[in-house]
Structure 1
Amino acid sequence: METHVLNLLALSLLFLLFYCAARISYFIWWKPKWLESKLKRQGIRGTPYKLLVGDMKELVRLATEAWSKPLSLTHRIVPRVDPFTLNNSQKYGKTSMCWFGTTPRLIIMDPEMIKETLSNKQGHFHKPPLNPLITILTRGLATLQGDNWARHRRIINPAFHLERFKEMAPVFTISCSNMIEEWKKRMVNLQGTCEVDMWPEFQKLTADVISRAAFGSNYEEGKKVFELQKELIVLVLEAMQTLYIPGFRFLPTKKNQRRKKLDKEITSMLRNIIQNKWNEMRTGQSRVDDLLGLLLQSNNQENLPENGSKKKSNEMTIEEVIEECKQFYLAGQETTSSWLTWIIIVLAMHPVWQEKAREEVLQVCGKKEPNFESLSRLKIVTMVLNEVLRLYPPVIAQYLHAHKNSRIGLINVSAGTDLTLPTLLIHHDPELWGDDVEEFKPERFSQGVSKACKDQLAFFPFGWGPRTCIGQNFSIIEAKVAVAMILQHFSFELSPSYTHAPCTVMTLQPQHGAQIILHKL
């Protein structure tokens, strides 16, 4: 009897081991090879599948090699910023495939296919599954899918309507005035000139702007939250640059514990700010004049329900509002600071256009702070800003994931396939923009975005379709105000210490800083 039981246990264990081995084999070999064969049968060429790692080693090798050498003062930045995608498209065509670990990734450079993908009419394309480390930063709008995304977007939309920013114009000018006055103080005893690294300066500026715009009278409290969140971002990025081991983030290491503590502190501080704001609004002690107030007003609740408590289907809980406040900072700070940095670098490289933009600002605004109405009349500044967005988009690619079988153009895309829409490569494609694609020519946009190139969808720095960046208007107004006010007070040139070395760390950044020499006007 005992022998029979032992035999059954041995057989069960053997079956379990066989089942586990079969499942592992399926996910790390048979499924990737099956997806690869389906794409190849449709004429899609690309790199062959490599067990587990895919193309990660080659991607890291090419990026490391490219980033080890600076560029001359050229706008031909694609080979340095995204060498892997460039090599892949040159070798295998405008629609090609590569591998992100065990997941096939379809690279699409055709504007019509991009339009079809981003319109996502069937709802088959979502954001790729997030690294669990990212979710500690925010679980806000940009990370949501389906009905949850639609509900949050509907509630948040009114806060980001263009008309709302007319009342917020002073928020932008206050932050810019403070930055400019700080620069002028540095010039004392330096004959009206000084050197400034624009990258950290614009990071501070955009953090200040979003703090004031998001939290209004609670600005100082909001700023403390963002300082903690900045530390958390550094720790998360550091962890993401190492090999991801499932479950490792739960171990009580020093850095894991610090990340957890920061997250708790940030959440607790935001909860207090939100609850106080809501109470002030209900008692008439606070105006609805900041993003948080507009969000709470749009949420239209008698009380802010706690997470897990009963709420209406069209409302957000206080936990969800907290996550959206975290999103304000992440989306509103990093991308705009990147854009502003490249605007100043490029205008320093092209003094003729810098002077044209300055003449327009002085003609329209004089020495007065720009207001909402005057910003709409800055045509040359708008052309410059768009051309910099084309050459140096803060987000160099859009990433999606097919969670259901779908079709793009003539291609059948299987569930489980990732998609890359390489914004940077498309913005630098001579077939779409002409042989002068690598030149800084703001006049491309003299008749607006729609007529700047052969296909309107060849320019999508803020995305396109239903998931276009909700903060687009906010970012554009902030950039216009900052550039206009800098041009009113300073001329500027590249410092001899500046090294032209764009690279991507979440956003497109100057690897060795953005050293600019300012001259007081």
Structure 2
Amino acid sequence: MIVLWTSLFLLLFSALAIALHKLWWTPYRIQRTMASQGIRGPPYKLFYGNTREILQFKNEASSRPLNLSHDIFPRVQPHISTWTGTYGANYLSWYGLLPRLIVTEPELIKEVLTNKDEAFPKPEMDGFVKKLLGDGLVTTEGEKWAEQRKLANYAFHGDSLKGMLPAMVDSVHMMLDRWKNLHGDEIDVYQEFTILTSEIISRTAFGSSYVEGRNIFDMLRKLTLIASRNTFRIRLPGISKLWKTNDELESEKLENGIRDAMLEIIRKREEKVKAGELDDLGNDFLGLLVKASHSDDESRRITITDLVDECKTFYIAGHDTSNTMLTWTVFLLAIHPDWQDEARKEVLNVFGNQDPDPDGIAKLKTMGMIINESL
């Protein structure tokens, strides 16, 4: 009996020592080491790190009205705005037990992004973000990344983009026709650009209409919202295997639904080829991915999971970023009518009442400056 109690005591003592080392000593040691090099930051809080403070900053910022100003950094990243003012341009913060070095100095940012010595690997994705992006171009590295990048470059090089312009113009005409029927009513431009970018991506990259792709966009948008609201929420490791939150259950359902919907689009493309309706799988992004999944070269062949992940990545990266940029550009033009006039004059001078063409678009210097300012 004494041996049993002694063993139990030693086991509990060891578990406590390991927990203290991981939860307290290691963060304390890292903070001291970084402080000795001039890098300070908000103090580590047991288990949660700084995530609760970050959520508080974000909730307070979003509760205040948005001013008509270019200075939106304190609104979208209030914790970084506050802590760079307190601790300097580069500081240490904590995502649970994970230390994060926040870098805002332009030269250091350039060094990280250049990454010639491969000293800055991409972080491993898990949880909701993994469901959202999978192993697509954004998250992979090395040879796999190179092959994925090659496919994307081939699908969207200059000549390919020129060939996509008529479909883009048609989609814009459809949007403008909807606006004409509103008879002066207010327009939710964010929602309108959501439809526009969805239509363009579906038609140019995946050979489907917005109606066919709408379900995928809706599921991706819901999954993005779930991932976003859980970004700074910390859960005990392994707890999801015993008990899943509503968000976890919903995200799994959405992940499977997105996969099924994309595979259905692929199946329809392959059936059209078999039926002779299409000569081949096509040279749009989807067609190139499907070809890669059937490649005879095993080293270049991609799995169905890779194919779906690439589609998800492009849907998200191509759609959400473009949609947000267009909305922000229109917002900035609305509060700077002088630039509206300059842009309108340039477009009319280059195109008159004709649809845009690739050569003319290259001549839009003022519009280029406006878009670059909005990025």
- TM-score (norm: length of structure 1): 0.65
Of residues 36, 39, 43 in structure 2, which corresponds to 1:48?
A: 43
Change (3 A) 1:326 1:212: same
Change (3 A) 1:107 1:261: closer
Show the 5 A alignment for 1:220-369.
Answer: 220-238=211-229, 244-247=235-238, 249=240, 251=243, 256-278=248-270, 280=272, 284-286=278-280, 288-297=282-291, 299=292, 301-302=294-295, 312-369=298-355
Of residues 86, 90, 110 in structure 2, which corresponds to 1:91?
A: 86
Deviation of 1:267 after TM superposition, in Å, equals 1.2
SS of 1:125's equivalent in the other structure is coil
Q: Distance in 2 between matches of 1:75 and 1:160?
A: 32
Change (3 A) 1:347 1:277: same
Change (3 A) 1:18 1:235: same
Of residues 77, 83, 95 in structure 2, which corresponds to 1:82?
A: 77
Cα contact 1:127–1:143 (8 A) shared by 2: yes
SS of 1:315's equivalent in the other structure is coil
Q: Which residue of 1 aligns with 2:156?
A: 160
Change (3 A) 1:129 1:29: farther
Q: Give identity over the alignment, percent.
A: 37
Write out per-residue CA displacement over residues 112-154 of structure 1, whole angstroms, 9 at most, x where no aligned residue: 2111111112223233343412222231221223443333223
Q: Distance in 2 between matches of 1:110 and 1:73?
A: 27
Cα contact 2:343–2:366 (8 A) shared by 1: yes
Deviation of 1:318 after TM superposition, in Å, equals 1.8
Cα contact 1:59–1:84 (8 A) shared by 2: yes
SS of 1:142's equivalent in the other structure is coil
RMSD: 2.6
Show the 5 A alignment for 1:174-253.
Answer: 174-187=170-183, 193-217=184-208, 220-238=211-229, 244-247=235-238, 249=240, 251=243
Deviation of 1:252 after TM superposition, in Å, equals 6.5
Deviation of 1:220 after TM superposition, in Å, equals 4.2
Write out per-residue CA displacement over residues 48-75 of structure 1, whole angstroms, 9 at most, x where no aligned residue: 3222222223322322222222243222
**When the two structures are aligned, how many residues end up with a matched partner?**
371
Deviation of 1:340 after TM superposition, in Å, equals 0.6
Structure 1, 32-41 or 61-70: larger mean CA deviation: 61-70
Q: Distance in 2 between matches of 1:87 and 1:180?
A: 42
2:369 matched to 1:375?
A: no
SS of 1:32's equivalent in the other structure is helix
Cα contact 2:51–2:233 (8 A) shared by 1: no
**Alignment-mate amino acid for residue 31 of structure 1:** T
Change (3 A) 1:110 1:53: same
Cα contact 2:52–2:232 (8 A) shared by 1: no
Gapped regions of structure 1 (runs ≥ 5):
1-5, 188-192, 304-310, 390-521
**Alignment-mate amino acid for residue 165 of structure 1:** L
**Alignment-mate amino acid for residue 289 of structure 2:** L
Structure 1, 319-328 or 154-163: larger mean CA deviation: 154-163
Write out per-residue CA displacement over residues 188-238 of structure 1, whole angstroms, 9 at most, x where no aligned residue: xxxxx3311212221222122211122114664333332333344344445
Q: Distance in 1 between matches of 2:165 and 2:92?
A: 45
SS of 1:104's equivalent in the other structure is strand
Change (3 A) 1:242 1:33: closer
Q: Distance in 1 between matches of 2:300 and 2:353?
A: 46
2:102 matched to 1:107?
A: yes
Cα contact 1:156–1:295 (8 A) shared by 2: no
Cα contact 1:141–1:327 (8 A) shared by 2: yes
Q: Distance in 2 between matches of 1:242 and 1:95?
A: 23
Gapped regions of structure 2 (runs ≥ 5):
none
Q: Distance in 2 between matches of 1:287 and 1:363?
A: 40
Q: Which residue of 1 aligns with 2:137?
A: 141
**Alignment-mate amino acid for residue 159 of structure 1:** A
Deviation of 1:108 after TM superposition, in Å, equals 1.8
**Alignment-mate amino acid for residue 343 of structure 2:** A
Q: Distance in 2 between matches of 1:109 and 1:291?
A: 35
Change (3 A) 1:116 1:254: closer
Which protein is richer in helix relative to its size? 2
